[in-house]
Amino acid sequence: MTEPLLDAIASDPLTMGWMQGFPPPPERQVLWRRGDHWQFPKTRWAFSHFREILPSVRVEGEGSSPLPRRIAADLGHLEFTPLDATALMTLDEALLATYTDGILILHEGAVVYERWFGVTGPETRHIAFSMTKSFAGTLAEILIAEGKLDPAAEVAAYVPELADSGFGNASVRQVLDMTTAVDFSEDYTDPHSGIGAYSSAVGFLPTAPDYTGPRDLWGFLRTVEADGAHGERFTYRTANTDVLNWILTRVGGMSFARALGERLWHPLGLGEADVLVDPLGTPFAGGGLCLRLEDLARFGEAIRKGGEGVIPDMAIRAIRQGGDPALFDAVRYPALPGWSYGSQWWHSHGSDGGFSARGIHGQTLWIAPESGLTIARFASHPVASGSGNDPISVPLWQALGRALNA
């Protein structure tokens, strides 16, 4: 970026007029063929409209009743100190600083704070990005608890097609915890990284006319090669979740979207959602879920409350336990000291027991059982990686836990 970034108010998608009018004027259009849906500030419109840009599949759900509300009128004035900052910031200021699109803060089961911005509202199915992975991880832990999936088994035992790929001899647990060692870089600022090739393969970006690479998620996975020994360290690679998706699909005999519907959406009473699909109709478990913020919060509440009879105890324990902090990538995540990644969830190992589903550009589900706290937040921060908002968001979640229990 050469120009200074617009702030949250200046980049409000309604103010900017993206896709407003019939038709929107040419300079206010958001077009897939130009990759506009990845260009800030057009992202602030696109993240709430992804199924209008790409093919998707329905996650069948229920007509859910609203969560209870017990709004804390003054919570927006709550002050906290961002990382590496000296000045205090309020919750309301933090929402703008993180380009929040919507937030629900729940304490002991009731919504105590609720805000909406731009084109995002209660019925919007906003893209969850990599929070989707935590749903996949939860499905995996359910199957493990039911004895249907062996975390010690090798990937190739479930998906023989991956035997010759870098994933073939990794264990299911290594895939779940992203400690596989494969040649796939996830640098959102490098168009030649693994995630860039992947995005083209699955249709999230247009391909050049002379493109001859893989054309679907699973075809792409077969091209990923080994790069070192599995199990030695956590390295964040979305491709792990697509491998997990393939495994889950084989074990359960149904697509990720149908599994979400049958195992989570219907029993938890969540409203219908969408999952983006690749050209073969495969749901993008690595980041394609689009759902209502309140349904994200309900899912978090179910986990905070111990599974509500839908998610087995053993699965809840695995999620709450987290991964191995010794394997974490401390260099890449300076705002997450002592954290781990396990079962496709991020764990703080903090005194509030806080763990998190996280997606690029600020998507967050924060569950802190010891504080009785569940926070669901959609955002469209201009920086993809957590480094853009973690220095504000992480201390804010922790401060909210303290304040609401004071």
Residues that bind a second copy (CB under 8 A): 19, 22-24, 29, 31-33, 49, 51-58, 60, 62-63, 123, 125, 209, 215-216, 218-219, 246, 249-250, 255, 272, 274, 277, 279-282
What are phi and psi for residue 34, nearest 5 degrees?
-100, 0
CB-hemisphere CA count at 13 Å for 87?
4
Which residue lies nearer to a second copy by CB, 260 or 316? 260
Strand locations in 329-401 (E): 340-342, 345-347, 355-359, 363-368, 373-379
User: Please, what is the minimum distance in Å from the beta carbon of residue 20 to a second copy?
Assistant: 11
Amino acid at 254: M
48 touches 120 (CB < 8 A): yes
Residue 378 Cα to chain centre, angstroms? 10
Structure tokens at 324: 């191995």
CA gap 222, 36 in Å, rounded: 29
User: Please, what is the minimum distance in Å from the beta carbon of residue 224 to a second copy?
Assistant: 16
The active-site residue out of 11, 48, 56, 130 is 130
* Active site (annotated) includes residue 356: no
Which residue lies nearer to a second copy by CB, 294 or 352? 294
SS3 assignment, position 27: helix
Amino acid at 351: S
User: Please, what is the minimum distance in Å from the beta carbon of residue 170 to a second copy?
Assistant: 19
Which residue lies nearer to a second copy by CB, 62 or 108? 62
- Rg of the chain over CA atoms, in angstroms? 20
User: Please, what is the minimum distance in Å from the beta carbon of residue 362 to a second copy?
Assistant: 24
Which residue lies nearer to a second copy by CB, 197 or 316? 197
CA gap 205, 201 in Å, rounded: 8
Which residue lies nearer to a second copy by CB, 292 or 377? 292
User: Please, what is the minimum distance in Å from the beta carbon of residue 241 to a second copy?
Assistant: 15
Is the alpha carbon torsion for 178, 179, 183, 185 positive or negative? Answer: positive
Which residue lies nearer to a second copy by CB, 85 or 280? 280
Which residue lies nearer to a second copy by CB, 10 or 211? 211
What is the phi-psi region of residue 75: left when phi exceeds 0, alpha when psi lies from -120 to 50, beta otherwise? alpha
User: Please, what is the minimum distance in Å from the beta carbon of residue 288 to a second copy?
Assistant: 12
User: Please, what is the minimum distance in Å from the beta carbon of residue 121 to a second copy?
Assistant: 12
Tokens 């201009």 correspond to 382
151 touches 171 (CB < 8 A): yes
273 touches 109 (CB < 8 A): no
User: Please, what is the minimum distance in Å from the beta carbon of residue 83 to a second copy?
Assistant: 39
What are phi and psi for residue 15, nearest 5 degrees?
-60, -40
**Beta-bridge partners for 90:** 79
In sequence order, the 6+-apart residues with CB closer than 8 A to the CB of 326 are: none
Which residue lies nearer to a second copy by CB, 129 or 218? 218
CA gap 307, 301 in Å, rounded: 8
What are phi and psi for residue 358, nearest 5 degrees?
-135, 140
Give the residue numbers annotated as catalytic, written as ranges: 130
